[in-house]
Structure 1
Amino acid sequence: MARIPTPRPPMGWNSWDCFGTTVTEAEVLANAEVLSRRLAHLGWDTVVVDIDWSDPTARSHGYNAGAPLAIDDHGRLLPDPGRFPSAAGTADGTGFAPLARAVHDLGLRFGIHTMRGIPRIAVERDLPILGTDLTASAVADPSNACEWNPDMVGLRWHDPDPTVRAACRAYYDSTLDLYASWGVDFIKADDMLWPYQAADIAAYARAIERSGRPIELSLSPGRDLSLARLDDLREHATMWRICDDLWDSWADVEANFARLARWAPHASPQGWPDGDMLPLGRISVRAERGEPHDSNLTPAEQRTLLTLWCVARSPLMVGGHLPASSEETFELLSNPGVLALLHASGSREVFREGSLVLWSAEVRADSLPAAYLADLSGADDADTVGVHRYVAAFNTGEEPLVVALDAGNVGLPLRLDGPVTDVWAGAAASAIPVSTQDDGARGVAPGSTAIPVTVEPHGVVLLRYLDRGTGA
């Protein structure tokens, strides 16, 4: 089954970190407008309505067992018209179509969250499966229900009767036909990876392909996800989570260093390992955790988060309520020298010792969008030829870290014939040719270049060097 490759990881906004299960149409549009106006020119182009958009009783901090979900006569979820008034009277299939059109009119793509399986309420009503002679109770498998959300039960993929298995496929086909008719461009399909639901993933991807609409598929959550699943993931999905939900704590960010180091070498247009959303800006307005607040990550930790996600080429889905987020948040999200890493090749962790973690990557200048080149410090027409070589020096420790990097050890030429830029500082970094060993550049071999850096606790120094000799 063919999946359309994507040239870079998806980028956009998702409602979960700020509104949890309770986001409204007005809030989606408010965030879409800011995304379009402030960030879309740099690739932030997708707006995603997260979980429980069909629940009229949705609340922050939890899910509602037995919720009276809005569904149609074939057991397919519909938007709650109380929160999404443009979806009122959706028995005709209107659903999210008006909201999707409004998002499209802003030059953006529209996405929704879905859950594996079939709604319990459809099983209780024993609604007919569109295109079959069977009903919801015949395809439902309560023994494989979601462990953390009460809305859905699994499907009977292992039933010995091929008619039942065909009806399971028909249910997914009918739901994806509906979403495609609404103009959905992106689906975050949840409860797919823990435990790994191979039959659902394959059937869901098949249903997307059958719908005829080029919908990108994101799989969640990624707890305990193994590289043994890589080929299957690449065959069926655009992106897949490699961790559980990530929130605005240093412990959550630090835990993803090892995961992203394992998965980053496999990130490519064939599929993108996902470190989860960026809990940046104004979050927890009505969300799963905490009271309304600006991200608890320090400025240094926020730069580390974005740098690590970019150098590992993880998808970027910001979770803050953009209309209420600070200018500092927008400055963080709009640094083209950092975002350029999403177009890198050879991204990998090259060194880890104590609190020092080093990553390297390279980005062909001629692969970058014009908006990036136009904004890069010192960029000119000549910068479209060559390779931007990146070095990210992370400090996971609690004290400042002072180290002299050996250019040859971090993927740079031994001798540099141009400036090295400190990307976050927007200034030139020191680059000192070393002729003899001395205390000023301990660990740097004679004949190489020393680049002294000081990295604050939980911080990062991101260096970029334009190597014109290896471009073209």
Structure 2
Amino acid sequence: MRGFTLCLVSFLVIFGSWFQSVSSQNVTKSDIQQAAFPPRGWNSYDAFSWIISEEEFLQNAELVSQRLLAHGYEYVVVDYLWYRKKVPGAHSNSLGFDVIDQWGRMAPDPVRWPSSKSGNGFTEIAKKVHSLGLKFGIHIMAGISTQAVNANTPILDTTTGAAYQESGRVWHAKDIAIQERRCGWMTNGFMSVNTTLGAGKAFLRSLHEQYAAWGVDLVKHDCVFGEDLDLNEITYASEVLSKVNRPLLYSLSPGVKATPDMVKQVSGLVNMYRIAGDDWDVWGDVKSHFNVSRDMAAANLIGAKGLKGNSWPDLDMLPFGWLTDAAVNDGPHRSCRLTLEEQRTQMTLWAMAKSPLMYGGDVRKIDNATYEIITNPTLLEINHFSSNNKEFPYVTKNETRNQVKEIRSKEAPIQSVEGVSSADISSWIATGRKGEVYLAFFNLSEQKTPIYAHRSNLSKAFTGKRIRSCKGQELWSGKYVATKKGSISTDVGVHGCALFVLNCK
């Protein structure tokens, strides 16, 4: 097997002290509040797929520190397959090209990640990231790799530094692997581990303690949630991570077919969890997040109790700027295909739903328009400090009692639009920390559409509060609005949005 020589168990016992881990005996629970706000940062996947190198990663990290950290973007995350060799024949679902250690654990490819040589793992990368004032995250897959199972590597017992023994024998990868339960989207890559076995738990413990030893601050766990739900592995991984005596966020991905009932089983165990499939720079992906984010808000899951802090529904990364394509052996080579209006819509929904904000484009080539969207101070304020965030269902596309006063605007009265259904418009509402009302309109249709919200209906979003009048400003146009008896309304472009910041009495 390439890059790997299976050693005798006796050899492993002799050299077991080489392992890197944080023994559960040496860590204690921390009372530090984790993920008090939706996390922000940068992830390598949208721009680099799986092929990113150490040099490219650190170049992006330096720019995140220089340009985005001041706006709360503090995590830099290496996405999947950092252990895969970039050689002919290797791809996102190939077999036999991964770097694994003597215990069957993934190790960074030393060609792409030269600082990982001599068993350093990501220790040096984490140190460099921390020196930039940032936090370091990695993507991991479910269970154990097929490559480790085929090699039948022994299991490390981190409490002894030697091979795990129970019932008078040494346990190996084939003893713990559930081979009939393979990752649905990476069938050649990984399979579940039997967590009812002491050896299964020992293997998972050796993984997560190693990540902590490397200095990792965020673990993005793939193929254990949504349609691949493995509550046993999530529960045990959370238990191990809870014993690390510093903040270490636990994230789940992806969330295909995630429901509020499913989320309630895991939200207290993690800090963020994807609630849909991968989001790319196509309008259909953006649109697909409206219903599921509405459902999570209605179930009071935004900012619910999580692992040593809070947990947040994650709408996925922001695929803006300079990108690559899904699951390819290619780096950034094209611009985002979303229009400016669609990007504003995505960022506004992500902010109103209080999703984690992970920028996905190559930061080395970030353009001014993209930078202005992801660092917009109003959206970032909403994302961290607003409350009572939810869908506002009291909007229409037809004027009923419109008495809006738009200061600095003398546009002709808005007319109703034929062929646009109520399902083609959406609205969210939230409260600011200074008492502001944030009201967002979204046009999901294929034509420019007027959207109306009657002032009297705003009170329905806030228990015990009667709203008599509002005045404020629309974010993107800069228009001022005021109303006492009528509606707040505006004409919203195709796939566009409007965001009102209102002071209401």
TM bucket (normalised to shorter chain) is 0.7 to 0.9
Of the three residues 255, 263, 277, the one matched with 1:222 is: 255
Q: Is the 8 A contact 2:455 2:483 kept in 1?
A: no
Q: Quick check: 1:98 aligned with 2:133?
A: no
Q: Is the 8 A contact 1:97 1:182 kept in 2?
A: yes
Q: CA deviation at 1:219?
A: 0.6
**AA aligned opposite 1:178:** Q
**Are the structure 2 counterparts of residues 241 and 61 from structure 1 closer, same or farther at C-alpha, using a change threshold of 3 Å?**
farther
User: After the TM superposition, which segments of 4 or more aligned residues of structure 1 sit over 6 Å from their partners?
Assistant: 58-61
- Name 1:430's counterpart in structure 2: 481
Equivalent runs, 1:7-46 vs 2, <5 Å: 7-46=36-75
Of the three residues 188, 202, 210, the one matched with 1:170 is: 202
- Name 1:86's counterpart in structure 2: 115
- Name 1:367's counterpart in structure 2: none
Q: CA deviation at 1:402?
A: 2.1
Distance 1:9 1:126 in 2: 40
**AA aligned opposite 2:431:** E
**Are the structure 2 counterparts of residues 59 and 305 from structure 1 closer, same or farther at C-alpha, using a change threshold of 3 Å?**
farther
Of the three residues 346, 368, 390, the one matched with 1:348 is: 390
**Are the structure 2 counterparts of residues 125 and 355 from structure 1 closer, same or farther at C-alpha, using a change threshold of 3 Å?**
closer
Where 2:256 maps in the other structure, the secondary structure is coil
**Are the structure 2 counterparts of residues 226 and 285 from structure 1 closer, same or farther at C-alpha, using a change threshold of 3 Å?**
closer
Q: Is the 8 A contact 1:14 1:318 kept in 2?
A: yes
Q: CA deviation at 1:148?
A: 1.7
Q: Is the 8 A contact 1:278 1:318 kept in 2?
A: yes
Q: Is the 8 A contact 1:19 1:287 kept in 2?
A: no
Q: Is the 8 A contact 1:139 1:155 kept in 2?
A: yes
Any idea what the Cα deviations from partners look like across 1:337-380, whole Å, max 9, x if unmatched?
A: 0111122211111116242211100121xxxxxxxxxxxxxxxx
Any idea what the Cα deviations from partners look like across 1:412-443, whole Å, max 9, x if unmatched?
A: 964446x4121223x24221433xxxxxxxxx
- Name 1:373's counterpart in structure 2: none
- Name 1:300's counterpart in structure 2: 341
Q: CA deviation at 1:466?
A: 3.7
**Are the structure 2 counterparts of residues 416 and 428 from structure 1 closer, same or farther at C-alpha, using a change threshold of 3 Å?**
farther
Q: Is the 8 A contact 2:46 2:360 kept in 1?
A: yes
**AA aligned opposite 1:148:** W
Where 1:142 maps in the other structure, the secondary structure is strand
Q: Quick check: 1:250 aligned with 2:283?
A: yes
- Name 1:67's counterpart in structure 2: 96
- Name 1:273's counterpart in structure 2: 313
Of the three residues 350, 367, 372, the one matched with 1:331 is: 372
Of the three residues 259, 274, 298, the one matched with 1:241 is: 274
Distance 1:245 1:60 in 2: 25
**AA aligned opposite 2:98:** L
Distance 2:93 2:304 in 1: 38
Where 1:188 maps in the other structure, the secondary structure is strand
Moved more, 216-225 or 262-271: 262-271
Moved more, 29-38 or 283-292: 283-292
Q: Quick check: 1:464 aligned with 2:491?
A: no
Unmatched tracts of structure 2, length 5 or more: 1-28, 158-163, 166-170, 306-310, 396-421
- Name 2:134's counterpart in structure 1: 108
Any idea what the Cα deviations from partners look like across 1:314-340, whole Å, max 9, x if unmatched?
A: 111111111112111100111110111
Distance 2:295 2:379 in 1: 21
Q: Is the 8 A contact 2:103 2:153 kept in 1?
A: yes
**Are the structure 2 counterparts of residues 326 and 5 from structure 1 closer, same or farther at C-alpha, using a change threshold of 3 Å?**
same
Of the three residues 418, 441, 444, the one matched with 1:396 is: 444
Unmatched tracts of structure 1, length 5 or more: 159-164, 365-385, 435-443, 445-449
Where 2:390 maps in the other structure, the secondary structure is strand
- Name 1:360's counterpart in structure 2: 429
Q: CA deviation at 1:59?
A: 8.2
**Are the structure 2 counterparts of residues 415 and 61 from structure 1 closer, same or farther at C-alpha, using a change threshold of 3 Å?**
farther
Q: Is the 8 A contact 1:67 1:151 kept in 2?
A: no
Moved more, 312-321 or 202-211: 202-211
Where 1:430 maps in the other structure, the secondary structure is strand
Of the three residues 169, 187, 193, the one matched with 1:155 is: 193
Q: Is the 8 A contact 2:474 2:481 kept in 1?
A: no
Distance 1:431 1:201 in 2: 49
Where 2:438 maps in the other structure, the secondary structure is strand
Any idea what the Cα deviations from partners look like across 1:222-271, whole Å, max 9, x if unmatched?
A: 11112112332122110111111111111111111111111124211521
**Are the structure 2 counterparts of residues 404 and 210 from structure 1 closer, same or farther at C-alpha, using a change threshold of 3 Å?**
closer
Q: CA deviation at 1:288?
A: 3.6
**AA aligned opposite 1:422:** E
Q: CA deviation at 1:146?
A: 0.9
**Are the structure 2 counterparts of residues 61 and 119 from structure 1 closer, same or farther at C-alpha, using a change threshold of 3 Å?**
closer
Distance 1:327 1:287 in 2: 27
Distance 2:53 2:356 in 1: 24
How many residues align? The count is: 422
Q: Is the 8 A contact 1:60 1:286 kept in 2?
A: no
Q: CA deviation at 1:188?
A: 0.5
Any idea what the Cα deviations from partners look like across 1:273-295, whole Å, max 9, x if unmatched?
A: 11111111111078549982111
- Name 2:147's counterpart in structure 1: 121
Where 1:233 maps in the other structure, the secondary structure is helix
Q: CA deviation at 1:157?
A: 3.3
Q: Is the 8 A contact 1:21 1:60 kept in 2?
A: no
Distance 1:61 1:284 in 2: 18
**AA aligned opposite 1:7:** A
Q: Quick check: 1:420 aligned with 2:489?
A: no
Where 2:139 maps in the other structure, the secondary structure is strand
**Same amino acid, percent of matched pairs:** 32
**Are the structure 2 counterparts of residues 218 and 144 from structure 1 closer, same or farther at C-alpha, using a change threshold of 3 Å?**
same
**Are the structure 2 counterparts of residues 292 and 60 from structure 1 closer, same or farther at C-alpha, using a change threshold of 3 Å?**
farther
Of the three residues 260, 279, 297, the one matched with 2:293 is: 260
Distance 1:404 1:146 in 2: 46
Any idea what the Cα deviations from partners look like across 1:369-416, whole Å, max 9, x if unmatched?
A: xxxxxxxxxxxxxxxxx3121000111111112244322323596444
Where 1:144 maps in the other structure, the secondary structure is strand
- Name 1:453's counterpart in structure 2: 490
Of the three residues 28, 50, 55, the one matched with 2:84 is: 55
Q: Is the 8 A contact 2:34 2:247 kept in 1?
A: no
Distance 1:338 1:358 in 2: 15
TM-score (norm 1): 0.84
